[in-house]
A and B are shown apart, each in its own frame.
Chain A
Amino acid sequence: MAVEVRLPTLLREHAGGAASVRADGGTIGEVFGALIDEYPGLAGQLVDDGGSLHRFVNVYRNDDDIRYLDRLDTPVTERDVVSILPAVAGG
């Protein structure tokens, strides 16, 4: 089941320049796994070495931050849109 994933400008270079890609999976983690299989350059950008969501990206199922859902275990269907936004941060 393919889910639409919208990529921020910063990550598009790792996905052939696409603003939006589709990947299979029933959870955000599975979708990210399929994405990384297809675009290995995305490895390390989405998930950290410990297998958790990278702290500098925000991931949303529709408009809900998955950190407030079930993180990478958050279920998705083909009707959902997953959006990735870089954290806006500084010091």
Chain B
Amino acid sequence: MSFATPTLRLTEEQLRRIVAHCYDGLPDEACGLLGGPVTASGEPTGVITDVYPCANSDASAVTYTVDSRDLIKAMRHSEDAGGALVGVWHSHTHTDPYPSETDVRQAVEPGWLYALVSLRDGAPMLRSYRIRDGEVDETAVVLDR
């Protein structure tokens, strides 16, 4: 299969923070935002410089909404750093790391990377997608040290 661009590039430490926040959120879904550099046209390069764990204001095991105050704080921080918000991650506590119908319907940022962390099995599984016009395309994920 071929992957969509860009490749999501995380450090091992960032992945640990993402996964830890997902476990901390149980039994509810957990969510957070990703910040990083963008190209001149505003497209994410896929490199992540900041991971922003956020509150799930739905406090739900089946849906999430990034807390609105966490959202603006993360946006300002990423812009002050010369980048932008480039993606969001959330956990699926009992299902595959694949966007649900709700995820696809509510995806509003065609440029973003949408990362899913499944906690269904013993080992957490992270996958990354672009969601554009209702179409889901998986991107590769590379872990840097």
Contact = CB atoms under 8 A, between A and B. Distances in A.
Contacts of B90: 90
From A8, A60, A67, A90, name the one whose CB has the most chain B CB atoms within 10 angstroms: A90
Interface string B84-108: 0000101000000001111100111
A90 B99 contact: yes
Given A88-B88, A90-B90, A91-B100, A60 B65 contact: no
Contacts of A65: 68-69, 72
A10 B106 CA distance: 12
A73 B58 CA distance: 25
Contact of B66 (A8, A63, A89): A89
Q: Interface range on chain B: under 10, 10 to 19, 20 to 34, or 35 or more?
A: 20 to 34
Nearest to A67: B68
Interface string B19-32: 00000000001010
5 contacts: A9-B109, A60-B68, A63-B76, A89-B65, A90-B90
